[in-house]
Amino acid sequence: MEWLVSACFGVMIACGVYLVLRARTFPVILGLTLMGYAVNLFLFLTGRLHTNLPDIISGSQTQYADPLPQALVLTAIVIGFAMIAFLVVLSLRALGELDTDHVDGHKEKPPS
Amino acid sequence: MINHLIVGPLLLPLFMGTMIILNTNQPIARRRILGLFSCLAVLVITILLLFQSADGPIQTYVLGDWPTPFGIVMVLDRLSAMMLCITALLSLLCLAYAARGTDRQGKNFHALFQFQLLGINGAFLTGDIFNLFVFFEIMLLSSYGLVLHGGGGLRTRAGMHYVMLNLVGSSIFLVGVGILYALLGTLNMADLAVRMAQAPAENAALLQAAGLILFAVFALKAALLPLCFWLPDAYGFTSAPVAALFAVMTKVGVYVILRVYCLIFSDFAGVGAGLLTAWLLPAALITLAAGAAGVAGSRDLRRITAYLVIMSVGSLLAVIGTFQREAIAAAIVYLPHTTFMTAAMFLVADLVGRQRPDAGTGLVPDRPVGQPTLLGLLFLTAAVAIGGLPPLSGFVAKVMMLTTVKDSAGAPWIWGLVLGGGLLTLMALGRAGSVIFWKLLPADDPGTGRETTPVPVYTPADLFPAVILLVISPLLVVFGGMITEFAFAAADHVINPVHYIEAVLGPDRSFPLLLSSGGE
Long-range Cβ contact pairs of A1-8 (< 8 A, separation 24 or more): A1/A49, A2/A49, A5/A41, A5/A45, A5/A49, A8/A41
Q: How confident is the model at residue B43 (pLDDT cuts 50, 70, 90)?
A: very high
In a domain, B162, yes or no: no
| Winning range, highest mean pLDDT, from B78-82, B276-280, B443-447, B494-498 | B78-82
On the question of pLDDT at A4 being above 70, the answer is: yes
Apex B326 CA angle, B498 and B335, nearest 5: 95
Region of residue B518 (phi > 0: left; psi between -120 and 50: alpha; otherwise: beta): alpha
User: Could you read off the pLDDT of B383-412 as tens digits, one per residue?
Assistant: 999 988 888 888 999 999 999 988 888 889
Question: What distance in Å separates the CA atoms of residue B250 and residue B223, rounded to the nearest whole number?
Answer: 7
Q: Quote ipTM for the complex.
A: 0.91
Higher-pLDDT residue of A56 and B388 is: B388
pLDDT at residue B447, as a whole number: 56
**pTM, rounded to two decimals:** 0.92
Question: What distance in Å separates the CA atoms of residue B306 and residue B349, rounded to the nearest whole number?
Answer: 11
User: Could you read off the pLDDT of B174-231 as tens digits, one per residue?
Assistant: 999 999 999 998 899 999 988 888 888 888 899 999 999 999 999 999 988 888 888 9
On the question of pLDDT at B519 being above 60, the answer is: no
Q: How confident is the model at residue B362 (pLDDT cuts 50, 70, 90)?
A: confident
Report the helix count and the strand count for chain A, using DSSP H and E. 3, 0
Q: How confident is the model at residue A105 (pLDDT cuts 50, 70, 90)?
A: confident
Phi, psi of A21 (to 5 degrees): -80, 5
The residue among B256, B337, B352 whose CA lies nearest residue B304 is B352
In a domain, B453, yes or no: yes
Q: How confident is the model at residue B520 (pLDDT cuts 50, 70, 90)?
A: very low
On the question of pLDDT at B79 being above 90, the answer is: yes
Contact list in B for residue A105 (CB cut-off 8 A) is 153, 157
CA Rg value for chain A: 20
pLDDT (mean) for B490-501 = 89
Indicate the residue of B137, B153, B167 with minimum beta-carbon distance to A97: B153
In a domain, B399, yes or no: yes
Q: How confident is the model at residue B446 (pLDDT cuts 50, 70, 90)?
A: low
pLDDT at residue B104, as a whole number: 84
On the question of pLDDT at A59 being above 50, the answer is: yes
Indicate the residue of A48, A83, A91 with minimum beta-carbon distance to B167: A83
Q: Which of A95-109, B248-262, B471-485, B491-505 has the lowest mean pLDDT?
A: A95-109
CB B471 within 8 A of CB B339: no
User: Could you read off the pLDDT of B265-316 as tens digits, one per residue?
Assistant: 888 877 878 888 888 999 999 999 999 999 999 888 999 999 999 999 999 9
Contact list in A for residue B164 (CB cut-off 8 A) is 20, 28, 32, 87, 103
Q: Which residues contact A54 (CB under 8 A, 6 or more apart)?
A: A61, A64, A65
Contact list in A for residue B136 (CB cut-off 8 A) is none
In a domain, B109, yes or no: no
Q: How many CB atoms lie within 10 A of CB A104?
A: 10
Q: Which of B20-24, B208-212, B297-301, B510-514 has the lowest mean pLDDT?
A: B510-514
The residue among B244, B209, B268, B188 whose CA lies nearest residue B516 is B268
In a domain, B40, yes or no: no
Q: Where are the alpha helices (DSSP H) in B434-510?
A: 460-478, 480-495, 497-505
B134 part of contact set with chain A, CB < 8 Å: yes
On the question of pLDDT at B448 being above 70, the answer is: no
On the question of pLDDT at A77 being above 50, the answer is: yes
Q: Which residues contact A11 (CB under 8 A, 6 or more apart)?
A: none
Indicate the residue of B159, B161, B174 with minimum beta-carbon distance to A43: B174
pLDDT at residue B518, as a whole number: 46
Q: Which of A30, A39, A81 to mutate to test the interface with B (most CBs of B within 10 A)?
A: A39
Q: How confident is the model at residue B513 (pLDDT cuts 50, 70, 90)?
A: confident
Count how many domains chain B has: 1
**Chain A residue closest in CA terms to B175:** A39
B2 part of contact set with chain A, CB < 8 Å: no
A79 part of contact set with chain B, CB < 8 Å: yes
What domain range includes position B285?
Answer: 278-478
pLDDT at residue B115, as a whole number: 94
In a domain, B65, yes or no: no
CB contact under 8 A, B164 and A97: no
The residue among B68, B438, B86, B8 whose CA lies nearest residue B248 is B86
Indicate the residue of B130, B156, B168 with minimum beta-carbon distance to A97: B156
CB contact under 8 A, B164 and A79: no
**Chain B residue closest in CA terms to A84:** B167
User: Could you read off the pLDDT of A16-25 as tens digits, one per residue?
Assistant: 999 999 888 8
Contact list in A for residue B179 (CB cut-off 8 A) is 46
In a domain, B407, yes or no: yes
Q: Which of A5-9, B105-109, B487-491 has the lowest mean pLDDT?
A: B105-109
In a domain, B353, yes or no: yes
Indicate the residue of A25, A32, A42 with minimum beta-carbon distance to B178: A42
